[in-house]
Amino acid sequence: MLDKIIYNTVLSQTLSPCGKYLVAGNIYGQLAVFDLDNIFNPVIELLTSDYNKPKHIHTLESGSQVCSLVSTKKFLVVGTVNQILGWDWKSLGHSKLGKPAWNITIRPRSLFENCDINSLWCSEDEEKIYAGCGDNKIYVHNLEDGRLVNSYEGHSDFVHCVHGNGKQIISSGEDGLVLLWDTRTKKSHNKIEPHRNSKVQRHDIGKWVGAAALGNDWIICGGGPRLSLWHLRSLDVVTVFDLPDNGIHVAFFHDDCVFAGGVSKHLYQLSYSGDIRVELPVSATTVYSAVLRTNPRKVLSIAGSSPEIDLCTTFNYRDQVLHFR
């Protein structure tokens, strides 16, 4: 039997607040910590052949998959199955991962079911954490004391993605809905259904919406339906991106650009008008996670169903390949 790590799939990544570490979580419940300083500015004398391997690989106690990761100033927040765990960033540098600093348990509806924390999003003020879960709900917890502040119910299947822009929250799910929420109420105030739009739908792939993100005036979403740009106030399709993909799992705005990836050989950077600006080749069969950061250094890390993680510093081509194995 082969080692399962050959079929590794990375579902989520995050960068530490200092920008020094990249943390990736896979379906085997492992957290890989990469030391980016060492990877980008290696000391030639100390360079070993495994410099592009993780500095540490921690395995979660429960062994269940790491579905989502988000970082706050103080904590690395790990969304796994039925649990949200928080580790102090400082404790991640040690070779052995200790007990989490805190945890939040989300009870599944029945004994046989499990509730994956599919998506985590943290508001800018870092007061609240939003968790899009496998039990169709979005839970909002206070980061200060871990108290459940709110839970949004509106999806009829599991939630793929949660995102927000301060005033509003957007979520997308397996049921094909993209819901907009006001942070103060419990109900969604708006929704779009891409799979009902004839220009966007793709029946052979499905109606699920794998990724959605909020800009100031725009919504980007995609999944089974094509990647599409919607106007936030009118909720009309502005641009339908014609990409050779088989499903979108990652989409976000950056610098007047749309970054999108999924079941495709490339990660795309697109203009709002629909032009492809950059096609980044990726190692993964399916991209499940792309994290981007410009400070202290420009770095874009792309991971998915592969033991390899692609790293770009210019966003234009693949610089390095990290190995999560």
Partner 1 sequence: MGKDEVSTKKRRKINTTTSIDASKLAPADVYKRVVEFEESEAQIRSAEKDAALFKKICHDVRQIFSDVADLKVKGTDEANEKINAKRIEASLLLVALKKLNRLEKVRTRAGRDALHKEKQRVDSTHLLLQNLLYEADHLDKEVTKCLQFKSKDEEIELVPLKDFYRDAPSEISRPEVTKADEHQLQLARLEWELRQRRELAGVCSELVSSKERVAAAIAAARSRLDALAPHLRDVLKATKPLQECLALRLDEKRDEAQAAALLPPPLFLLYANAGAYSDALGAKNVTVAIAGDEDEARRLDQLTNEESEVVVSNDSDSDQDNNDEDHRDSKKKRHHRTVKVSKEERAEAKKKEVLKTHPLNVHVTVKNSDETSVDLIFSYMIHLKIVVVKFIMNVSKPIIGVSAADVLNGDCILNELYVGDTGTDSPHPATAYLLSTAGISEHFSHFISEIGRPFIWAQRMCGLDFMAVVSDKQKTNKNIQPCQSLSVASVENFIFTLKKRLKARVELMKELQDLESGKILPSKGMPCPVKLSGSLTQWQSITWNEYSQAPSTLFLISEGLVTDVFMLYRAIITRQSAKLVALVAVSSDYPKKAPLFSLTLHWNGTHNSLTNDDIRDIERVINTDWHASDKGRCSLSSQIMKLLTCLDILLETMGSPEFPPDKVMLQSVRGRNRMKPYKFLKQGAGAFVHY
Closer residue to partner 1 in complex, CB, 20/265: 265
Judged by CB under 8 A, which of 58, 80, 174, 226 binds partner 1?
174
Other CB atoms closer than 10 Å to residue 57's CB: what's the count?
18
Rule CB under 8 A: is residue 222 a binding residue for partner 1? no
Q: Is 141:105 a contact under the CB 8 Å cutoff? A: no
Residues 63-92 that bind partner 1 (CB under 8 A): 65, 67-68
Judged by CB under 8 A, which of 19, 206, 215, 274 binds partner 1?
206
Q: Which of 173, 165, 247 is nearest to 213 (CA)?
A: 165
Gap between the Cα atoms of 3 and 7, Å rounded? 8
Among the residue ranges 38-46, 155-163, 186-194, 315-323, the one whose residues contact partner 1 (CB under 8 A): 155-163
Provide, rounded to whole angstroms, the least separation between the CB of residue 273 and partner 1: 29
The 3 state secondary structure assigned to 163-210 is EECCCEEEEEECCCCEEEEECCCCCEEEEECHHHCCCCCCCCCCCCEE
Q: Is 283:274 a contact under the CB 8 Å cutoff? A: no
Closer residue to partner 1 in complex, CB, 134/164: 134
Residues 26-65 that bind partner 1 (CB under 8 A): 27-28, 65
Q: Is 241:199 a contact under the CB 8 Å cutoff? A: no
Where residue 207 falls (left for φ over 0; alpha for ψ -120 to 50; beta otherwise) is alpha
Rule CB under 8 A: is residue 288 a binding residue for partner 1? yes
Gap between the Cα atoms of 77 and 265, Å rounded? 29
Q: Rounded to an integer, what is the distance from CA 320 to the centroid of its chain?
A: 21
Among the residue ranges 14-22, 93-101, 186-194, 280-288, the one whose residues contact partner 1 (CB under 8 A): 280-288
Provide, rounded to whole angstroms, the least separation between the CB of residue 5 and partner 1: 9
Judged by CB under 8 A, which of 14, 36, 69, 116 binds partner 1?
116
Closer residue to partner 1 in complex, CB, 28/272: 28
Residue 289 carries which side chain, given as an amino acid letter? S
Other CB atoms closer than 10 Å to residue 177's CB: what's the count?
23
Judged by CB under 8 A, which of 41, 43, 112, 184 binds partner 1?
112
Rule CB under 8 A: is residue 113 a binding residue for partner 1? yes
Residues 1-30 that bind partner 1 (CB under 8 A): 1-4, 6-7, 9, 11, 27-28
The residues binding partner 1 (CB under 8 A) are 1-4, 6-7, 9, 11, 27-28, 65, 67-68, 112-114, 116, 118-119, 134, 158, 160-161, 174, 204, 206, 208, 210, 246, 249, 263, 285-286, 288, 305
